[in-house]
Amino acid sequence: MKIAVIHATAGAGHLKAAEAVYYGIQKYTNHDVKIIDALDHCSPLFRKLYAGTYVMLVSHIPRIWGFAFGLVDIPFLQGLMLWARGIYNHMNMGKLEQLLIDRQFDYVIVTHFMPTEIVSRLKEQKKIKSKLITCVTDYDVHRIWYAKNVDRYCVATDWTKKKCAAIGIPDTKVQVTGIPTNELFSAAYDVGELKAQMSLEDNKFTVLVATGSFGIGPIEEIIQELPDFQVVVVCGHNQSLYKTLMEKKYKNAKVFGLVDNMHELMAISNAMVTKPGGLSISEALVMQLPLIFFNPIPGQETNNIRVLHEYGVGISSTSIAHIARELDKLRTSQDAHTTTLMKTKEVGRPFAVKDIVNLTQ
């Protein structure tokens, strides 16, 4: 059986979800699986504009992004939006369309809304017969994920499933699997050994500060507000932030740039201060890590916070001082910490990859 797992490089989450599914298929099946970045099959200019515009908007003018995000979710505009997306994607993604037609995959699993529309349209035109599985990588469901020829939607929570019904997706097409995360996040680790390898104190309350792949947020101020904590900071692609923090030589902070061992950094942490991206949240929930959210991108990240609050998961910070107070509460109150862990366990889905892979059997 031939399977394509397709993502698009607009933020790191879609790629990480696709990789998790790809490795899961390799591990649990004998299927012929290929992972595809949709933006590898378009012009270099379009690729640069598609990814670059998103990064520029969320990094520098997030309110404009939030406005646009809300605008394209308005119900009565959906007919126009679907028509425009079809033309836009066909004009720019013809190479991806041709690849799908040539290869005739049995299953196409997507972790980004753009290839969802493309595959759905090719199915409607009877150019391919692939089964289409769409993994929604946020806790809310924006209407841009909707395409009528999706065979199965894989979503994060029961709340997400109800939202799918509210925007017209049949209940029979939706399965609560959780957002797919690499199975390294559900493994067990020797925390003491990992801390020793990273030159961290073994018995000190450790806070992981994750800025997202773009390295956005008041990171220096957070470090300065937490002098009595052991802080681990991941700067992502923000080399300027990484250089600044390294030059400051904060005694209470261990600084990393772009990492490939986030599972280990989460394992050694007692709490996580993070931007509320869908994948970061899902990874932390699988590892039962208490979450404090900061600096959310208007739109998908503010919606993630709203959905998780329905489950009592995560704390939304109103200020850096508030972050410090909540961390101190987690550090000093065993009841507060235990309650938080129980709530994360209720929402975390460590077997999401297996459940998604099973849909191809």
Residue 59 lies in a domain: yes
30 and 166 part of one domain: yes
Same domain assignment for residues 291 and 193: yes
pLDDT band at 84 (very low <50, low <70, confident <90, very high): confident
Any domain includes 225: yes
pLDDT of residue 10: 73
What's the whole-number mean pLDDT along residues 115-139?
Answer: 96
Q: Do 210 and 309 sit in the same domain of this protein?
A: yes
Residue 357 domain-assigned (yes or no):
no
pLDDT higher at 82 or 58: 82
Query: Would you state the pLDDT for residue 124?
Result: 95
Q: In which element (H, E) is residue 33 found?
A: strand 32-37
User: Which whole number is the average pLDDT over 111-136?
Assistant: 96
Do 146 and 241 have their domain in common?
no
Judge whether 101 lies within some domain. yes
Which residue did the predictor score with more confidence, 304 or 238? 304
**Using 50, 70 and 90 to split pLDDT, how confident is the model at 17?**
very high
Residues shown for the chain = 361
Give pTM, 2 decimals. 0.92
Q: Tell whether 65 and 166 lie within a shared domain.
A: yes
Mean pLDDT on 159-171: 94
pLDDT of 268 > 70? The answer is: yes
pLDDT at 68: 80
Of residues 51 and 14, more confidently modeled: 14
Residue 123: pLDDT over 90: yes
pLDDT at position 212: 66
Last residue in a domain, options 159, 176, 193 = 176
Q: Both 35 and 61 in a single domain?
A: yes
- What mean pLDDT is predicted for residues 106-131? 96
| pLDDT confidence band for 216 (50 / 70 / 90) | low
Q: Which of 144, 176, 208 corresponds to the end of one domain?
A: 176
Structural domain range at position 316: 184-347
Do 65 and 168 lie in one domain? The reply is: yes
Number of domains in the chain: 2
Asked if residue 353 is part of any domain, the answer here is no
Residue 201: predicted pLDDT: 92
Is the confidence at residue 295, as pLDDT, over 90? no
In the predicted structure, residue 211 carries a pLDDT above the cut 90: no
The answer on 206 and 132 residing in a single domain is no
What are the structure tokens assigned to 191, written together? 């925390």
Task: Indicate if 156 and 271 belong to the same structural domain.
Answer: no
CATH number of the domain at 49, please. Answer: 3.40.50
Statement to judge: residues 93 and 110 lie in one domain: yes
- pLDDT at position 11: 67
Sheet bearing 206-210, strands edge to edge: 253-256, 230-234, 206-210, 271-274, 291-293, 315-316
CATH number at residue 205: 3.40.50.2000
Burial (CB < 10 A; 0-12, 13-18, 19+), residue 146, is buried
At which of 176, 206, 226 does a domain end?
A: 176
- Tell whether 269 is covered by a domain: yes
Range ranked top by mean pLDDT from 1-15, 41-55, 147-161: 147-161
Task: Tell me whether residue 360 is in a domain.
Answer: no
Q: Is the dihedral of CA 48, 49, 51, 54 positive or negative?
A: positive
Residue 302 lies in a domain: yes
What local confidence, expressed as pLDDT, does residue 67 receive? 85
Interval 206-210 mean pLDDT: 94
pLDDT tens digits for range 61-70:
878 878 888 8
